[in-house]
Structure 1
Amino acid sequence: MTRPVLIIGAGIAGLWAALKLAPRRVILLTGSPLGEGAASGWAQGGVSAALAGDDTPALHARDTIEAGAGLVDAEAAEALASGAAQEVRDLAALGAPFEREGEAWSLSREAAHSRHRVARVTGDGAGAAIMQTLIAAVRVADHVEIRDGWAATALIPDAEGGCAGAVARSPTGETLQILADEAVLAMGGAGGLFALTTTPAGAQGQAMAMAARLGAIIQDPEFIQFHPTALNAGLDPAPLCTEALRGDGATLTDRSGHRFMKAIHTDAELAPRDVVARAVHRQNAAGKGASLDCRAAIGEAFPRRFPAVFAACRQAGIDPRIEPVPVAPTAHYHMGGVATDIDGRTSIAGLWAIGECASTGLHGANRLASNSLAEGLVSAARVARVLTDTPDRSAAPASAAGTAQIPPALPPLALTRLRQAMSRHCGVERTGAGLAELSALIEAMIERHGEADALIAARFITAGAIARTESRGGHFRTDFPQTNAVARHTRLSLADLTRSTGPALAHTAPAE
């Protein structure tokens, strides 16, 4: 009997892959209760896709490549751009309530896009609406077995060095080996490693740590995208003020009301995210303040056009209809992750990765706005097509009892200390001295607490940042502000982290 495909994670990528795999049987591990704990549901902007009459996949791919600061893989960009529109249509057919203007799509424009191409839901509700649609469909899908709240704790190696499934823990603490010939990681990013983040705190780079223990390659882990405009009101996680606000004309101003982005970039507020994030960071660091002024562009229509942002502002005691909204850059998206090809295939037989936890080279050093949900959908569809036609591997565990390495848990106070240090030393702007201090802290914490997933993931990010002695996209070193002439990917294994991680080790592969 054919073993089911094991999907680990239930954000947009995991749910869409589960549906697209029909009629092949699927076991879906949700980690948190279905619908909770996935960053997908918090995504506000929408799904980027060439749906307009004046747009094409070629233009979408071009914008993706230009935003990625020299590190975007052209094949990955073309795969996303050529596939996104059909996935949006399929989602709409399933019931996702994308905005329409008659027969045409209602599309917004976001930073670094040359066209209006972001399909949205009620201004800022795309992620939540799409998740609701997918959850409803998965719950009634006969081929999907949902293990609600079951979290994968480790991958099981097979006798040939591949993956034979995962060890999972139930909400009540029960553990179970789930054997599978094919396991798909769809576990999201690493924003929870930072004290200032717009993502669920539980997203701590677990996919990187789990895959690396089997020998998988981790690519470009140092590239964290910091969203320029999170609500700066002391909330954890920080509510996102969607880029669609700036796309609709909101401006960034200092305390005196001066619009500071016009002097920094020709596209002003719609400059690439890394440019805007650094500008906002520097404004706040200099004590000048940074606020998003939506009064003229949105005004009284705010509650109707952007209800999620409006609710977050009101919770913080701010009325964006009549006053500017204080903002700050916060960790938002991990552009690196488990290295895969454009179909989600890792370097480990039987192990696949899709969505934010994967690194195909699509985002390069700086993700194009709203390409995240599009990537989740397209990567899920691609891996499903491949796995539907993949012969059974009949993978056997390396031993009768399995040899999965179940990592220790990181105590809450230690995690808080790690998150604070990551934001301080591996944030919007970095220095060699700060990264060295962070690295020493991580090693000391590993010595005390063991190789917890969060520490291994932080180790990968820090090692990549130390080795990249240049500034590129989301990685900015104040001690190395220049951008090297040749763009190179970082590729690291777990074994590399126990050795020196100088440039010669980490940067081995020029971008194609």
Structure 2
Amino acid sequence: MITANYLVIGSGIAGLTFSVKIAEQFPDRNVVIITKSNEEESNTKYAQGGVAVVLDDEKDSFKKHIKDTLVAGDGLCNEEVVKMVIKEGPKRLEELMAWGANFDLDKSGNLDLGKEGGHSEYRVVHHKDITGYEIERALLKRVHQLPNISILPHHFAIDLVTNHHIKNSNQDELVCYGAYVFNQKSGEIFTVKANSTLLASGGIGCVYGHTTNPIIATGDGIAMAYRAKARIKDMEFVQFHPTALYEVEGESSFLISEAVRGFGAYLRNKKGYRFMPDYDKRAELASRDIVSQSIDSELKKSGDAHVYLDCTHLDMNAFKNHFPNIYNKCLQHHIDIKTDWIPVIPASHYLCGGIKVNKKGKTTIDNLFACGECTRTGLHGANRLASNSLLEALVYAHNIFKYHTKYEYKYLEVDIPEWNDEGTVIAKEHILIQHNLKRLQALMRDYVGIVRSNKRLKRAIKHLDLIHDEVEELYKESKITTSLCELRNMVNIAHLIVRQSLDRTENKGGYYNVDNVKK
């Protein structure tokens, strides 16, 4: 058993920001960060666009950013949360820069602000087209300077420890005491006992297979919180990024940033027709839900596998300077954007729902906090505005930190039972895991995609129940493996998405069900 004052599950912008702040504030207390891959592997690392922050007082304002966020959220944002996050933005960006994060400057030496879909002004602070990578670098450097932070890479959090695990627990309220953790290299399973646990575990993109997320995005934190009986909300609002690079092998994982359309690129169908003005007066700069649904409509009408992003009319020197990573990635795929259109399709990108938290990042379980993409804060509503996610993570990590400086939890002396895998055996049929994973991902893409229907959702439930039963049986009889735990988590996530989709009777933002359209 490891004892920690603060257990952080996840090593992206949310988890690292909280860890740095709390470790600096309390040098005599220890922070343990659990991350299932390398320490730098997270959704943050792959964020291309940037951080949406109001900095230009002459052209921009908090009021404009708030309005853009509310419009994107389609009436389901918590307006108080929106105001809080946006007004806190400049302070949190300043801290990030003080820790060493570098952002692009214009010719005058001021921060170079980009514009993305749904934004009325230029307000996106960025580092080329690898903003998340730069933020992750700066935060990890700061983490390694603090001796009271320990990072355990290649460690997988299996389940949260709550009073359900404690014999003779007198607690009426649900309380979190830490987590059971799997050392992926040694095979050992041990307990991290903690005064406070923070879930900062990222998104769920791999549930759909075709995703802009890295392979670690399997919804682990949300699934653990769900099994621990935390409240989970708004899971139906899965945001599909309109422009993921289409690859013949079917791996549509590389993101062509929203900022490319902000830079002036056009979407065209196979015949070369620029179709977005037919769907929205903002054309390519409409919010992601509208652009994704428009592309989906074009593909259904034509039967084509993808549409195109046309950058050939743009200033190519400026493009290379702004988007070097995208330019080089296209070249690797024999696409010269000076002359060639980029084949793109929508792919699972971001979850607007998740673990319900209040303004302080508290979940409905005592001693359990959550931050970042695994949460439902009320900021995004039915659809996230571009580049608001890194901002949200910074603000909520700060709020959780401030809460911990004001309210000290008394350490609860409990005896946590060791992990019990008696009677289990090493699974010899790994093919069962891979088969069910592919079944699950195909099911979610075909039945629970950009455009849904009640009939497809109900069929999805029936298929999911069969997959769930097989996976649970395998889980009960097998020794723990990461792939098995991830599959189990993804099945939980899929159920949440489908069930909450069926509960929604009105189309909002990123959620569109043909049976909810008023005749």
- TM-score normalised by L of structure 1: 0.89
Matched, 1:16 2:52: no
In structure 1, what residue type is equivalent to 2:386? A
Q: Partner amino acid for 2:241? A: H
In 2, are the aligned partners of 1:10 and 1:29 still within 8 Å (CA)? yes
By how many angstroms is 1:396 displaced?
Answer: 4.1
List alignment gaps of at least 5 residues for structure 1: 484-512
Counterpart Cα distance in 1 of 2:228 and 2:278: 49
- Aligned residue for 1:440, secondary structure, equals helix
Q: 1:341 is matched with which residue?
A: 358
Match for residue 273 of structure 1 among 284, 288, 298? 288
1:232-260 C-alpha deviation (Å, 9 max, x unpaired) = 12453511110111111111111222211
Please state how far the C-alpha of 1:18 moved relative to its aligned partner.
0.7
From 203, 214, 220, the equivalent of 2:234 is 220
Q: Deviations over 1:60-85 (max 9, x none)?
A: 22211111011000121112101111
Question: Kindly tell me: are residues 389 and 403 of structure 1, through their superposed partners in 2, closer, same or farther at Cα, counting changes over 3 Å?
Answer: farther
Q: Does residue 425 of structure 1 match 2:447?
A: yes
> In the alignment, what sits opposite 1:163?
176
Contact kept, 8 Å, 2:38 with 2:154, in 1: the verdict is yes
In 2: Cα distance, 1:470 partner to 1:304 partner: 43
CA RMSD after TM alignment: 2.2
The aligned counterpart of 2:56 is 52
Q: Which letter does structure 1 place at the counterpart of 2:463?
A: L
1:383 maps to 2:400 = yes
Alignment partner, residue 283 of structure 1 = 298
Give yes or no for contact 1:69–1:366 (8 Å, CA) kept in 2: yes
Does the 8 A contact of 1:293 with 1:325 survive in 2? yes
Kept in 2: contact 1:15–1:138 (CA 8 A): yes
Query: How many equivalent residue pairs?
Result: 480
| Counterpart contact for 1:155–1:166, Cα < 8 Å | yes
- CA drift at 1:467: 1.6
Work out the CA distance in 2 between the residues paired with 1:359 and 1:190.
13
> What is the one-letter code of the residue matched to 1:147?
L
Partner of residue 481, structure 2: none
Say if 2:120 is the partner of 1:117.
Answer: no
CA distance in 2, matches of 1:426, 1:397: 42
For 1:434, the aligned partner's letter is R
- Shift, 1:164, TM fit: 0.2
**Separation of aligned partners in 1, 2:199 and 2:93:** 22
Structure 2 residue 131 is matched with structure 1 residue 126: yes
Amino acid at match of 2:160: L
Q: Is the 8 A contact 1:17 1:380 kept in 2?
A: yes
TM-score (norm 2): 0.88
1:392 corresponds to: 409
Query: Contact conserved, 1:10 with 1:31, CA < 8 A, in 2?
Result: no
**Partner in structure 2 of residue 508 of structure 1:** none
Find 2:345's aligned residue among 300, 322, 328.
328
**Aligned AA (1:278):** Q
SS at 1:181 equivalent: strand
Check conservation: 2:180, 2:419, Cα contact below 8 A: no
Of residues 186, 190, 197, the one that matches 1:176 is: 190
After TM superposition, give the deviation of residue 298 of structure 1 in Å: 4.0
Q: In the alignment, is residue 197 of structure 1 matched against residue 219 of structure 2?
A: no
Contact kept in structure 1, 2:10 and 2:35, CA below 8 Å: yes
Counterpart of 1:462, as a letter, is: V
Q: In structure 2, how many angstroms separate the alpha carbons of the residues matched to 1:56 and 1:72?
A: 19
Q: Which has the larger displacement, 433-442 or 98-107?
A: 98-107
Match of 1:144 among 149, 152, 167: 149
Tell me the alpha carbon deviations over residues 188-213 of structure 1, each in whole angstroms, 9 at most, x when there is no partner: 01111002110012212211211122
Ranges in structure 2 where 5+ consecutive residues have no aligned partner:
164-168, 476-487
| Structure 1 residue aligned with 2:7 | 6
CA distances 1:451-496 after superposition (whole Å, capped 9, x unpaired): 721111111011011121222111111122249xxxxxxxxxxxxx
Compute the displacement of 1:339 (Å). Answer: 0.4
**Structure 1: how far apart are the matches of 2:244 and 2:131?**
17
Conserved 8 A contact 2:200-2:370: yes
Aligned to 1:446: 468
Counterpart Cα distance in 2 of 1:227 and 1:126:
17
Is 1:42 the counterpart of 2:46? The answer is yes
Choose which of 196, 199, 207 in structure 1 pairs with 2:221.
207
Distance 1:213 1:429 in 2: 28
Match of 2:478 in 1: none
Percent of aligned positions with the same letter in both sequences? Answer: 33
Q: Is the 8 A contact 1:156 1:397 kept in 2?
A: no
Does 2:512 match 1:476?
A: yes
Alpha-carbon displacement from aligned partner over 1:322-348 (angstroms, at most 9, x marks no partner): 111111111000001000012210000
SS at match of 2:25: coil
CA distance in structure 2 between the aligned counterparts of 1:94 and 1:336, rounded to whole angstroms: 30
In structure 1, what is the Cα distance between the partners aligned to 2:113 and 2:134?
Answer: 16
Give how far 1:388 is off.
Answer: 2.5
Change (3 A) 1:55 1:301: closer
1:186 aligns with 2:188: no
In 2, distance between residues paired with 1:69 and 1:90? Answer: 31
* Secondary structure of the corresponding residue to residue 221 of structure 1: coil
Aligned partners of 1:206 and 1:454 also within 8 Å: yes
Assess if the C-alpha contact under 8 Å between 1:294 and 1:324 holds in 2: yes
Residue 106 (structure 1) aligns with = 112
CA contact (8 A) 1:43 1:127 kept: yes
Cα distance in 2 for residues equivalent to 1:84 and 1:251: 31
**Correspondence 1:259 to 2:274:** yes
The one-letter amino acid of 1:469's match is T
Amino acid at match of 1:422: M
- Matched to 1:299, the amino acid is M
Report the Cα distance in structure 2 between the residues aligned to 1:298 and 1:43, rounded to whole angstroms.
24
Which amino acid letter does the alignment assign opposite residue 251 of structure 2? Answer: D
Query: In structure 1, what residue type is equivalent to 2:97?
Result: A
Matched, 1:238 2:253: yes
C-alpha contact (below 8 Å) 2:37/2:216 kept by paired residues: no
SS at match of 2:97: helix
Instruction: State the SS of the aligned residue for 1:469.
Output: coil
CA contact (8 A) 2:117 2:288 kept: yes
1:459 corresponds in structure 2 to 495
Equivalent pair of 1:58/1:81 in contact (CA under 8 Å): no
SS at match of 1:176: strand
CA distance in 1, matches of 2:448, 2:315: 34
Verify: 1:32 aligned to 2:62, yes or no. no
Distance 2:462 2:329 in 1: 37
